[in-house]
Amino acid sequence: GFFTFSLFDAQAWLARDFIMGRYEVPNATGMVEYDDMMCKKCDDLEKYGGHEYDHYCIDFQGNYLKELIELTDYPTFSVDGVKELFNEWEHHKHGEGGGIMTFRDNSYTSVITGNRSPRLTDKEGNIVLWKDAMAETVESFGLWDTYKGNVRVK
């Protein structure tokens, strides 16, 4: 899944609202109708092949997340912006010039902060490819000036 955490989080907010009496679940007929509609949407995704399938899954999950957000006071953010990022990410993974070993070498702009993620670099500022970043240290993520070992120096 693409929106896994956000979906679980928004679903938890809806469950909270039900427990607190702020959300009333539909009647049995309404639940069956909604479930049938969602199952049909899922079944419809199967008609797409290859990488097109991933893009339709991104739209499906993003649209469901927007629906959940509208039902609660879950903090809003640009779900459509995240869908664009996931589609760009998928293009880097499968598109021309991309690949499973290179798509992580790209950086993306946060829809929350507007900050672009930095490229992995070594201490001299040379770009390090994801596949070559084997150490799991703060230094390997370009934080050598912020941490010494596991101790924050700034």
Higher pLDDT: 18 or 140? It is 18
Is the pLDDT at 97 greater than 80? The verdict is no
Higher pLDDT, 16 or 131: 16
d(CA 45, CA 61): 11
**Residue % of the chain over a pLDDT of 90:** 58
Q: Would you say residue 12 has pLDDT above 90?
A: yes
pLDDT (0 to 100) of residue 8: 97
What's the pLDDT band for 61 if we cut at 50, 70, 90?
very high
The residue whose two tokens read 């994801």 is: 130
More confident residue, 97 or 114: 114
Q: How far is residue 12's CA from residue 4's CA, in Å, rounded to a whole number? A: 12
Give kind and range of the element (H or E) at residue 56: helix 50-71
Rounded distance between C-alpha atoms, residue 138 and residue 74, angstroms: 32
In this predicted model, what pLDDT tens digit does every residue of 112-151 receive, in sequence order? 999 998 888 877 888 888 888 877 777 666 676 787 767 8
